Amino acid sequence: MPCIVTLITLAAPRLTMFFFWLLTNWFSRAFDSVLWPVLGFLFMPYTTLAYMAAMLNNNHTTSGFWLVLVIVAVLVDLGVIGGSRHHGSRVVLRGKH
């Protein structure tokens, strides 16, 4: 079961966040306010999920493996945003020629 959840999370992080919010109390346990999960949902879903996992599994600290996981999630979020922007600009340039 955890492998299926991990695969779904990698494929659709916002859908996973929605179901975690709907079915569990993990967001209220990991975050002090509602603002950070909402901003994470909109801009950096992988980072939000990794931070939530770190907070719940490591006594509300990010160290060791959990810190590495959060850093990798930030890089993935930034790569997804930057990669799609770059790909979109290439398609527009091809259309003009």
Of the candidates 65, 70, 19, the residue with the CA atom closest to the CA atom of residue 11: 19
- Band (pLDDT 50/70/90 cuts) for residue 91 is low
Residue 25 pLDDT exceeds 70: yes
User: Are 30 and 6 a contacting pair, CB within 8 Å?
Assistant: no
The pLDDT value recorded for residue 1 is: 73
End-to-end alpha carbon distance in the chain = 49
Domain ranges of the chain: 2-96
Residue 29 CA to residue 12 CA, distance in Å, equals 22
The pLDDT value recorded for residue 61 is: 83
Percent of the chain at pLDDT > 70 equals 81
Residue 68 CA to residue 82 CA, distance in Å, equals 21
The pLDDT value recorded for residue 41 is: 95
Helix axes 45-57, 35-43, angle to 10 degrees: 140
